[in-house]
Chain A
Amino acid sequence: MCGNVKETGKRIVRYIYLVIVLCLGIFIISVPFWGKGSFLDPNLGVFNWGLAATVFVSLAVLGFFQEFESAAAGAKEIALVSMLGTISALSRLPFAAMMGFQPCGLFIICAGYVFGPMAGFMVGCLTILISNLFLGHGPWTPYQMFSWGLVGVTAAWLRRCDLLRGKVAVLVVFGFVWGYLYGLIMNIWFWTNFVYPLTLKTYLLTLLNAVVWDGTRALANAFFVGFFGARVIGVLERFKKRFSWNAV
């Protein structure tokens, strides 16, 4: 009984946390539209938009970590995401000099697709946390974790849709589109901290500057998922059936 009350309390705190993060996100995105001229205007320099965006992204990642605390019931789930995260991180290292052309998207997409959104998010996060031990951490790390994490989360959604399930072509297109969506999120870090004024025009120019990075990432995702996707998903599915894993 006492345990149940404690669990419910924890769940309520978690929901409150998620609502706060969501509100903060909506606030950050919407203020440039209704806050022009006020002290919240990003271009007046009173409110630091780069810092606000970084805090939001970090809190969102922490929110997902909290969810993983309850989603991962035991050692099995933790060991699985760790192993897939390591494979994904190691696959990123030899391709470090090739801009965005890295095969880590393959493992993140397949992990999310087979083992569910939380596993996908964690594999995405671990890919960055581990590979950046070799490539270098920085204030960009939370953005990378968030972006690759979302790739894993959304890959799991594809499986829930009957029309999209079981088609590698869908995953190829999905990976390609995410190559650019990743850039949309990642460039916010650069844009809010180093570009002035913060307008749609300057944001688009920042995106234009990164178009080669995003393009190579999109191509890599599509290429690796297209070539290895079906076989990797096959191995993961077999493993899932063999040990009767539930989606995390």
Chain B
Amino acid sequence: MQISLRYKDKGTVIHRLNPFAKLAWVGSVTLLAVIFEHPLFLLLLFLATLPVVILARAWREWVSLIRFVIYMSLVIVIINSLVMYHGTHVLLEFTFEIPTLGNPKITLEAICFGLGMSLRLLAIVSAFTVLNFTVHPDDLMLAMIKLKLPYKSVLAMSMSTRFIPTLAGDLERITDVQRARGLEMDKGRLRQKLKSRGAVLIPLLANSLDRTVQVAEAMESRAFGALKKRTYHREIRLGTYDLVTVCAAISPFFFGLYLRYLGYGGYRYYPSLQKIDPGQTGWLFLAALAVLLLLILPLAWRRRRYILD
């Protein structure tokens, strides 16, 4: 069974960045995408993710994800166009009636709202690409433990990732054994095929449960849970430079909150579209937000120099 994680260690500056910094940056972009409504602000958030994705050399995977987002964007535009008739610029009015919705009326405002929300989705998915493709699952779990999430749950997740290759190996072995006994996996009707799969599934399950006991005994023999204070083989170090990077990664969020407090980042779609130009100060704030969002890039470069030196 060939399975591969989304994460691939490509050794780029983004991969080498502290996981906390990447979590903080992705969190900032996601939260800002949720609190901003202005299309220009949402577009900026989306565009800010692109250099990070390119530097992480994850653009190919990114393109395959974005295809799905484009489909979802179409759904967003269609739903909003069908249900929102408060716009003043009617583009198309149908004569027939849809139960509960009345006469469908497509307005420019509803389409623009749908497009704005699609930008929001694009920004969120694009930001999460960075997390999915550049943070190793082990680092993600260590970060969860450091963030004081319930330990046993994180341990269960950590053990699950460790079981993946074991289970994949078991599955292959059991399939081979059943084939050697004359079981034909892909022959017969659906019922026969399902029966054959069952002949693999049930032994796999029983075997895995026995393994569970072995793992639990191994953990207990190593005094699992005896001490409240735990030690770790691997730790995520959070040095001064990393702390600065985390602060830089989270700064766009606080700046964005401040902008919302000042009244920037909001946008009125109904009854008619508000002027898109945010004004001179608005553009200045947009530029400042762009700088803060991209601050993570020079810091990532410098970190590599710092490690090399």
Interface residues of A (CB under 8 A from B): 45, 48, 50-51, 62, 65-66, 68-69, 72, 74-76, 78-83, 85-87, 89-90, 93, 122, 125-126, 129-130, 133-139, 193-197, 199, 201-202, 204-206, 209, 227-228, 231-232, 235-236, 239, 243
Interface of A is mostly: helix
Q: Which residues of the other chain, A, contact B118 by a CB distance below 8 angstroms?
A: 194
- Report whether A139 and B30 are in contact in the complex, using a CB–CB cutoff of 8 Å: yes
Q: Which residues of the other chain, B, contact A126 by a CB distance below 8 angstroms?
A: 156-157, 160
Supposing A134-B6, A195-B79 touch, asked if A51 and B161 sit within 8 A by C-beta, the answer is no
Does any Cβ of A come within 8 Å of B67's Cβ? no
Q: Which residues of the other chain, B, contact A235 by a CB distance below 8 angstroms?
A: 202, 205-206, 209
12 contacts between A and B (CB under 8 A): A68-B150, A75-B216, A83-B212, A86-B163, A89-B164, A130-B157, A136-B129, A201-B101, A202-B79, A227-B198, A232-B201, A232-B202
Does any Cβ of A come within 8 Å of B215's Cβ? yes
- Report whether A87 and B156 are in contact in the complex, using a CB–CB cutoff of 8 Å: no
Q: Which residues of the other chain, A, contact B128 by a CB distance below 8 angstroms?
A: 136-139
Q: Which residues of the other chain, A, contact B78 by a CB distance below 8 angstroms?
A: 209
- Report whether A205 and B79 are in contact in the complex, using a CB–CB cutoff of 8 Å: yes
Q: B167 is contacted by which of A86, A122, A209 (Cβ under 8 Å)?
A: A86
* Whole-angstrom CA separation of A72 from B5 in the bound complex: 29
* Whole-angstrom CA separation of A58 from B82 in the bound complex: 31
- Report whether A81 and B156 are in contact in the complex, using a CB–CB cutoff of 8 Å: yes
Nearest-CB residue, chain A, relative to B170: A87
- Report whether B209 and A83 are in contact in the complex, using a CB–CB cutoff of 8 Å: yes
- Report whether B6 and A136 are in contact in the complex, using a CB–CB cutoff of 8 Å: yes
- Report whether A74 and B153 are in contact in the complex, using a CB–CB cutoff of 8 Å: no
- Report whether A62 and B160 are in contact in the complex, using a CB–CB cutoff of 8 Å: no
Q: B117 is contacted by which of A193, A206, A227 (Cβ under 8 Å)?
A: A193
Q: Which residues of the other chain, B, contact A75 by a CB distance below 8 angstroms?
A: 215-217, 219-220, 224-225
- Report whether B160 and A65 are in contact in the complex, using a CB–CB cutoff of 8 Å: no
- Report whether A82 and B163 are in contact in the complex, using a CB–CB cutoff of 8 Å: yes
Supposing A65-B149, A134-B3 touch, asked if A76 and B164 sit within 8 A by C-beta, the answer is no
- Report whether A48 and B159 are in contact in the complex, using a CB–CB cutoff of 8 Å: no
* Whole-angstrom CA separation of A89 from B160 in the bound complex: 9
Give A184 Cβ to nearest chain B Cβ, in Å: 16
- Report whether A239 and B209 are in contact in the complex, using a CB–CB cutoff of 8 Å: yes
Give B158 Cβ to nearest chain A Cβ, in Å: 8
* Whole-angstrom CA separation of A65 from B149 in the bound complex: 9
Give B183 Cβ to nearest chain A Cβ, in Å: 16
Interface string of B176-211 (1 = CB under 8 A from A): 000000000000000000100010011011101101
